[in-house]
């Protein structure tokens, strides 16, 4: 006698209730994708069964022909998507259909705006799969049996998507999963046989398992036999000349669980010592979880067209974690594991080739289609900046892909390549000049740029947190060294006028006494004080020591909780500025000290730094303002 459990009622995870509500509203205009998502899930289930059957062949003994079956029941107004794949246990049903086991779920939901177009993009990046059923169905029933379990251990899951679901133990005569959609009243058109076949061809023709529907005779009546609707051939093994652009796009949506078309793709077959095929995609949007360190990423691995592992990280460096696609090779064992992958020389060889192929694709796009590459950079530029530190072999190739803002046009959107900068360099200019800050505006308005603007020397404006690490990793490009305009003594090389050098020596002698007085006032705050020619309109600035770190790097290290190198900045005064000339003649020691502290604090603020005593700075400024206003 079989004991059947009573129906157990559960509540959806709070995030799922919110997601379902937003998804149904945002995706209704694109409701057809529900079938693509369910077929994609069924295909994944078949892949997983085939993989497990490598170790347990008995899992396939009763039913070795893996397939997906679509059935429309007009009398009951249901569509059923069935597969004879891996199936689910009761615990798996509760876990997978009642919660979203993804890191960053709350961040994702917080990012939703209520704008349907924007939310559609976000939902597509996050992936909703099974839950898209509720776009067209008011009730969804799932009947499933885990491969290798008995008929009595099957499970039925059912919900109307309003906040609760039930789980019941049932009998099921075969392994796999049946997803039964009880269609909404206004979705009757989906029961049309021709409509379903059209959707399968449109969205799922690339699925490599046969998708079956009841065959019809010449009069359109159903027979008792089934026919395959899709091509049922792994898309990546077909010749490129035979694959349509739309097929590439739909396969991407299947493999990446994305709703949008990809930006770029590359399809390649390699023969020789190693034989493998790759189909790689660059998404249109940054995949959800790109910045979450524990979020899974990577390519799908097939060996001899048998699915082996999902989200395999070993075939791509971390800075290319946004790439999606498949690798199919004949040179790895069918029972390969992630641990073995890490030690495989074949994997390292394939990884090196795939990395080069992706970088070549990006370089080709940057040269031939700048508009598309601008989209790539907008979404993935910050990730690519990790490359020079991680991938020494390809450092030069990655450097050519980098884009920066510049004083050339003062646009916040980075659009300038390093090769462009070099082509515009002044004759015999030795360095690639840059300034870094917390924001674009702070970089653009940095006082360190004053002399460079005067002499029309281009400077790169770096305003991403990672930029300092990037420059430290690059150090030079095409024989030119990177030089911060806010670090070390200003050396414009042959770009500087000879007159400048003579004038500087004269000025240093003239202001020697002032410099000595300022050093005494700021002895605890600075390493040195000197006159400068880098300023034209500002009275003073702070400069990092030649062997030290910039103020921006100091803030990054501090924010990351890293130990800071010991060292103090250098304080530079503009001897041509009216305030500096006025202070030079100040004889009152107390008043002189107040002026110097004001200039120093201003320099700290201009660097994006924090004052030790903001209130005291405000008091000093107010004091001088009162004097100017003749307040008695």
What pLDDT, in 10s, does the model give residues 265-296? 999 999 988 999 999 999 998 877 777 766 77
CB crowding 268-296: b at 16 or more within 10 Å, else e: eebeeebebbbbbbbbbbebbbbeeeeee
pTM over 0.85: no
Residue that is last in its domain, among 307, 341, 367: 367
Is residue 373 assigned to a domain? no
SS3 content of the chain, % helix, strand, coil (to 5): 45, 20, 35
Instruction: Report yes or no: 199 and 34 within 8 Å, Cβ to Cβ.
Output: no
Burial 139-148 (b: 16+ CB within 10 A, else e): bbbbbbbbbb
- Digit-coded pLDDT (tens) for 182-207: 999 999 999 999 999 999 988 888 89
Q: What is the pLDDT of residue 111?
A: 59
- Does 289 lie in the same domain as 242? yes
At residue 112, the pLDDT reads 57
Taking 50 as the threshold, does the pLDDT of residue 3 lie above it? no
- The total number of structural domains that make up the chain: 4
In-domain check, residue 55: yes
pLDDT for residue 10 is more than 50: yes
What's the domain range around 430? 385-493
- Mark whether 462 and 480 lie in a shared domain: yes
For helices 614-628 and 589-606, angle between their N-to-C axes, nearest 10 degrees: 120
431 contact partners, CB below 8 Å, separation of at least 6: 480, 481, 482, 483, 493
In this predicted structure, what is the pLDDT of residue 100? 57
411 lies in the same domain as 264: no
pLDDT of residue 537: 92
pLDDT score at 99: 63
Q: At 26, which CATH number?
A: 3.30.565.10
DSSP string, 397-454: HHHHH--BEETTT--SS--B-HHHHHHHPPTT--EEEEEE-SSHHHHHT-GGGHHHHH
Which residues are CB-contacts of 549 (< 8 A; sequence separation ≥ 6)? Answer: 557, 565, 567
> In terms of domains, do 263 and 211 share one?
no
At 319 the pLDDT is 95
What confidence score (pLDDT) does residue 500 get? 62
Residues 169, 201, single domain; the answer is: yes
Rounded Cα distance, 82 and 227, in Å: 15
Backbone Cα Rg of the chain: 33
> pLDDT tens for residues 13-52?
676 777 777 667 666 667 888 898 899 889 989 999 998 9
Per-residue pLDDT at 625: 85
Percentage of the chain exceeding pLDDT 70: 86
Task: Give the contacts of 451 (CB within 8 A, at least 6 positions apart).
Answer: 490, 492, 533, 534, 535, 536
Given a cut of 90, whether residue 334 has pLDDT beyond it is no
Q: What is the pLDDT of residue 101?
A: 46
Closest CA to 602 of 586, 587, 585, 583: 583
Which one of 477, 493, 509 terminates a domain? 493
Is position 1 within any domain? no
How far apart, in whole angstroms, are the C-alpha atoms of residue 404 and residue 462?
7
Asked whether the predicted pLDDT for residue 614 surpasses 70, the reply is: yes
346 and 240 in a common domain = yes
Residue 609 DSSP class: -
DSSP 8-state secondary structure symbol assigned to residue 597: H
What pLDDT, in 10s, does the model give residues 243-272?
999 999 999 988 888 888 999 999 999 998
> Which one-letter DSSP state was computed for residue 386?
T
- Rounded CA separation 275/164 (Å): 50
Are β-strands 460-462 and 431-436 bridged in parallel, bridged antiparallel, or unpaired? parallel
Q: Judge contact between 204 and 211, C-beta under 8 A.
A: yes
- Among 379, 488, 507, smallest CA distance to 433 is for 488
The residue that leads in pLDDT, 59 or 27, is 59
Strand bridging mode 137-145 / 211-216: unpaired
C-alpha 301/C-alpha 312 separation (Å) is 7
**Going by DSSP bridges, is the β-strand pair 460-462/78-83 parallel, antiparallel, or unpaired?**
unpaired
Residues 146 and 184 grouped into a single domain: yes
Phi, psi of 141 (to 5 degrees): -115, 135
Would you give the DSSP letter of residue 189? Answer: G
Which pLDDT does position 88 carry in this prediction?
Answer: 92
CATH of the domain at 448: 3.40.50.11260
CA distances from 34 to 129, 189, 379 (A): 8, 14, 27
Q: Which tens digits make up the pLDDT trace of 63-113?
A: 889 999 999 999 999 999 999 999 999 988 887 786 654 444 555 556 555
325 within some domain: yes
Residue 140, C-beta contacts closer than 8 angstroms, at least 6 positions apart? 133, 134, 158, 159, 161, 179, 180, 181, 182
User: What integer pLDDT is reported at residue 121 of this predicted model?
Assistant: 52
Mean pLDDT, residues 454-471 taken together: 90
Shared domain for 105 and 249, answered yes or no, is no
In this structure, of 212-216, 344-348, 504-508, the range with the lowest mean pLDDT score is: 504-508
Q: For 436-458, write each residue's pLDDT tens digit.
A: 888 899 899 999 999 999 888 99
Per-residue model confidence (pLDDT) at position 9 = 85
CA dihedral 231, 234, 240, 241 (to 10 degrees): -20
Grade residue 433 by pLDDT with cuts at 50, 70 and 90.
very high
Task: Classify each residue of 321-347 as buried b or exposed e, where b means 16 or more C-beta atoms within 10 Å of its C-beta.
Answer: bbbbbbbbbeebeeebeeeebeebeeb
Return the pLDDT at 254.
Answer: 87
Q: Is residue 374 part of a domain?
A: no
Closest CA to 133 of 20, 14, 213, 12: 20
580 and 563 within one domain = yes
Q: Percent of the chain beyond pLDDT 90? A: 52
Using DSSP bridges, classify how beta strands 68-73 and 211-216 pair: parallel, antiparallel or unpaired.
parallel
Residue of 215, 262, 252, 239 whose CA lies nearest to 71:
215
- 218 and 264 co-located in one domain: no
Count of C-beta atoms within a 10 Å radius of residue 88: 24
> Is the same domain home to 155 and 241?
no
67's CB contacts (< 8 A; 6+ apart) are 46, 83, 84, 209, 210, 211, 212
Residue finishing a domain among 304, 333, 367: 367
**Domain annotation covers residue 622:** yes
Q: Terminus-to-terminus CA distance in the chain, angstroms?
A: 103
111 and 173 in a single domain? The answer is yes
Distance separating alpha carbons of residues 512 and 531, to the nearest angstrom: 9
CATH number of the domain bearing residue 606? 1.20.120.790
| Residue 3 domain flag | no
- Specify if 323 maps to a domain: yes
């Amino acid at each position: 006698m079989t004991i059947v459990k009573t129906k157990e009622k559960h509540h959806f995870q709070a995030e799922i209730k919110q997601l379902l509500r937003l998804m149904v509203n945002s995706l209704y205009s694109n409701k057809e994708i529900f079938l693509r998502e369910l077929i994609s899930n069924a295909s994944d289930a078949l892949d997983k069964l085939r993989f497990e059957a490598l170790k347990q062949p008995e899992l396939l003994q009763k039913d070795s022909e893996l397939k997906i079956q679509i059935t429309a029941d007009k009398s009951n107004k249901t569509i059923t998507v069935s597969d004879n794949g891996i199936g689910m246990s009761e615990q798996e049903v509760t876990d997978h259909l009642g919660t979203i086991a993804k890191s960053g779920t709350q961040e994702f939901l917080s990012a939703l705006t209520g704008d349907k177009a924007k939310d559609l993009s976000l939902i597509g990046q996050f992936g909703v799969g099974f839950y898209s059923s509720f776009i067209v169905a008011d009730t969804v029933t799932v009947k499933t049996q885990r491969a290798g379990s008995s008929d009595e251990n099957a499970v039925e899951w059912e919900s109307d998507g309003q906040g609760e679901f039930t789980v019941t133990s049932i009998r099921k005569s075969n392994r796999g999963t049946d997803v039964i959609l009880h269609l909404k009243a206004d979705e009757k058109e989906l029961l049309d046989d021709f409509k379903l076949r059209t959707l399968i061809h449109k969205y799922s023709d690339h699925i490599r398992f046969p998708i079956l529907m009841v065959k019809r005779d010449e009069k359109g009546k159903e027979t008792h036999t089934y026919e395959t609707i899709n091509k049922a051939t792994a898309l990546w093994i077909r010749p490129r000349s035979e694959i349509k652009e739309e097929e590439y796009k739909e396969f991407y949506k299947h493999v990446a669980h994305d709703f949008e078309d990809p930006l770029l793709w590359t399809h390649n077959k390699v023969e020789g010592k190693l034989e493998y095929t790759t189909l790689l995609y660059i998404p249109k949007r940054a995949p959800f979880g790109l910045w979450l360190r524990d979020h899974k990423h990577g390519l799908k691995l097939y060996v001899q067209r048998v699915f082996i592992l999902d989200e395999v990280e070993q075939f791509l460096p971390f800075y290319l974690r946004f790439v999606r696609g498949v690798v199919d090779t004949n040179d790895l064992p069918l029972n390969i594991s992630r641990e073995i992958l890490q030690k495989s020389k074949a994997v390292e060889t394939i990884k090196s080739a795939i990395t080069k192929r992706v970088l070549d694709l990006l370089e080709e796009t940057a040269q031939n289609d700048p508009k598309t590459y601008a989209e790539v950079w907008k979404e993935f530029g910050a990730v690519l900046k990790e490359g020079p530190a991680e991938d020494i072999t390809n450092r030069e190739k990655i450097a050519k892909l980098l884009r920066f803002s510049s004083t050339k046009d003062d646009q916040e959107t980075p659009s300038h390549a390093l090769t462009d900068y070099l082509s515009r360099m002044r004759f015999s200019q030795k360095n690639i000049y840059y300034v870094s800050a917390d924001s674009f505006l702070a970089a653009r308005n940095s006082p360190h740029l004053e002399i460079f603007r005067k002499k029309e020397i281009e400077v790169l404006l770096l305003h991403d947190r990672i930029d300092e690490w990037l420059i430290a990793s690059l150090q030079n490009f095409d024989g030119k060294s990177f030089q911060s305009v806010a670090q070390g003594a200003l050396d414009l090389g042959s770009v500087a006028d000879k007159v400048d050098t003579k004038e500087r020596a004269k000025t240093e002698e003239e202001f020697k006494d002032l410099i000595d007085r300022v050093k005494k006032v700021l002895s605890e705050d600075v390493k040195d004080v000197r006159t400068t020619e880098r300023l034209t309109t500002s009275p003073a600035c702070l400069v990092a020591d030649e062997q030290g770190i910039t103020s921006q790097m100091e803030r990054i290290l501090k924010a990351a909780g890293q130990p800071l190198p010991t060292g103090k900045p250098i304080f530079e005064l503009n001897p041509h500025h009216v305030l500096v000339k006025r202070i030079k003649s100040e004889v009152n020691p107390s008043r002189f000290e107040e002026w110097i502290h004001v200039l120093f604090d201003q320099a700290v603020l201009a660097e994006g730094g924090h004052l030790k005593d903001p209130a005291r700075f405000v008091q000093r400024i107010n004091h001088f303002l009162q004097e100017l206003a003749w307040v008695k």
